[in-house]
Amino acid sequence: MTRHLDMLYKTVILEHSKHPKNKMELSDFDVERTVYNPMCGDTIKVQIKVKNQKISTVAFNGEGCAISQASASVMTDLLQHMEIKEAKERIHTFKQMLRGDSQIDLSQLEDGMALQGVVQFPARIRCAQIAWQAVEEAIDTLESSNALDEMKENEVE
Ligand code: ZN
């Protein structure tokens, strides 16, 4: 990573942690999941509302280090209004990035690319991961409860 890019990435992370996007408590949501990172003390709660196989709203709340806050902000910003199928692909790509996989197209992660640098700091990978794990679990919960299919059927009626 060049020095210029490194600086740029730090700026992106700092900006998201100082002014997190979609950090709020939703009153209307389908599922919420909270993931705790005991190594650092981060707690991230993610809430999602799904409509027509799309994430109509995703928000987060919680406390933690700059990386956990920035990662949650980036995640909600990226997945907002995205189709479930596409959102799952992005989550998968983000996880691959944190595993250090260099064969992936990081540009599809937009600001999420900025978190690539945490791979060099194994103790901080979990900080970047928890918001994405929370949203993945929330989607899994919806899918396993067949709530998404029911929503789809309701659409047709
Ligand atoms: Zn942390």
pLDDT in tens, 73-132: 999 999 999 999 999 999 999 999 999 998 899 999 999 999 998 998 888 999 999 999
For ligand 1, the distance from its centroid to the CA atom of residue 111, given in whole angstroms, is: 18
CA distance 109 to 94: 7
CB 5 within 8 A of CB 13: no
For ligand 1, the distance from its centroid to the CA atom of residue 1, given in whole angstroms, is: 23
For ligand 1, the distance from its centroid to the CA atom of residue 116, given in whole angstroms, is: 15
pTM: 0.90
pLDDT, tens digit (0-9, with 9 covering 90-100), for 31-84: 999 999 999 999 999 999 999 999 999 999 999 999 999 999 999 999 999 999
Q: Directed axis angle between helix 84-98 and helix 122-144, to 10°?
A: 160
For ligand 1, the distance from its centroid to the CA atom of residue 156, given in whole angstroms, is: 44
